Amino acid sequence: MHFNQIWKQIKMKPLRKTVLALTLLSLAACQNLETNQQEQSQGESKKTYGSAKAVVDEEPIPAESISGPVAYAPNVPVLSNNQTVDVRIDVQHKKITVAEGVSFWAWTFGDSIPGPVLRVKVGQTIHFKMANRSKETAQYSPPMPHSIDLHAAMVNPSDKYQSIPPGSTISFSWTANYPGVFMYHCGTPIILQHMIYGMIGMTIVEPKEGFPGKVDREYAIIQNEFYLKQKSDGSYMVDLDAARKKQPLYVTFNGKPGQYVQNPLKAKAGERIRLYVCNAGPNDESSFHVVGTLFDKVWLDGNPVNQLRGMQTVLLGASSGAIVEFVIPEAGTYTFLDHEFADVEAGAVGLIIAE
Ligand SMILES: [Cu+2]
């Protein structure tokens, strides 16, 4: 039957017209539902804002450096599938070796600079606990109030990100609303000082149903600057003046200049690699690039809705993150670096060796 004939029939019969209208409406509703589902799968799920007031306990608790879905970069932690996740990241004052012969008394989340990578997913509620254990090494490094500012969370900063005195513990909850890679850092003044002492790290938040697409291998890369100066006895200390002038001694991936030139990351020809990259700064940007391939996908700030394709370099301001995916085209040595070459000279360079 020709369309005009159908339309004539409908025109003659109001009931049929109503049926057609209802059909069209329900089709539109289906389409809306599909769009909603797509949006939800892309991070537009129900949001949870705020949480119960943080609890600060002045009594020291048994030491425990880190626990929960956490791991030190370049390792990426295993995701928990529970609705609620317990995470513990303690603050310590600890001697950290940045390069051969270059050690200093640092302030750390967990045991290293950067602090551990935390991995959760959208909708999960994180019960977070952090003890300020800076008293334990008071003979080497004066105890200090500390705090944590989790960029992945949506909570009252004057409550959850408050500074806690040495020896005390803070506990609070937050729910992950957006997928991405997010920085965390100490927010206690002088913030620049606390960050260059080493108090930086990264949270990975997966979409509810995981990041789209399959990859063969994944690594976490956190870039940061070290501002250090040598003391008369040959040891090193933080140089706040150099930080204010933005003159780093080192720019590193995962806390040690050029460490992946000495111990390259491994891959195989033809593999699809996913890197979770965060530029912790605190001062400079990163022009993250891998020599010999292109980023098939870049998710700015690690959210798959912010997708770019076929990128050579991703520009990351201080605290910005990205997830980059690329294929290793053939066997070889692939250099990843901050394409601002002064930063390469300062240590922001590494290798992926693909057999
Ligand atoms: Cu601090």
pLDDT per residue over 239-282, tens digit each?
Answer: 999 999 999 999 999 999 999 999 999 999 999 999 999 999 99
Dist. CA 334 → ligand 1 center (Å): 36
Local structure of residue 80 (DSSP, 8 states): P
Average pLDDT over residues 211-239: 97
Rounded distance, CA 181 to CA 33, Å? Answer: 28
**Of 182, 274, 278, 262, nearest to 224 (Cα)?**
278
Dist. CA 147 → ligand 1 center (Å): 6
Neighbouring residues of the ion ligand 1, judged by CB less than 5 Å: 146, 186, 188, 194, 199
Q: Which residues of 275-307 are buried (b: 16+ CB within 10 A; e: fewer)?
A: bbbbbbbbbbbbbbbbeebbbebbbbbbbbbbe
The pTM score is: 0.87
Confidence of residue 45 (pLDDT cuts 50, 70, 90): confident
pLDDT at 201: 98
Rounded distance, CA 176 to CA 154, Å? Answer: 8
Joined together, the tokens standing for residue 19 give 């049926």
Dist. CA 114 → ligand 1 center (Å): 13
Dist. CA 207 → ligand 1 center (Å): 30
Confidence of residue 12 (pLDDT cuts 50, 70, 90): very low
Local structure of residue 334 (DSSP, 8 states): E
% of the chain residues with pLDDT over 70:
88
Structural domains of the chain, with CATH: 56-206 (2.60.40.420), 217-354 (2.60.40.420)
Rounded distance, CA 218 to CA 346, Å? Answer: 25
pLDDT at 44: 64
Please answer whether residues 86 and 129 qualify as being in contact, where contact means their C-beta atoms are separated by less than 8 angstroms: yes
Dist. CA 107 → ligand 1 center (Å): 7
Residues 6+ apart with CB under 8 A from 285: 279, 315, 316, 317, 318, 320, 340
**Which residues, in sequence order, are bridge partners of residue 340?**
none
Judge whether residue 288 has pLDDT over 50.
yes
Joined together, the tokens standing for residue 237 give 């200390």
Q: pLDDT per residue over 70-93, tens digit each?
A: 999 999 999 999 999 999 999 999
SS3 state of residue 33: helix
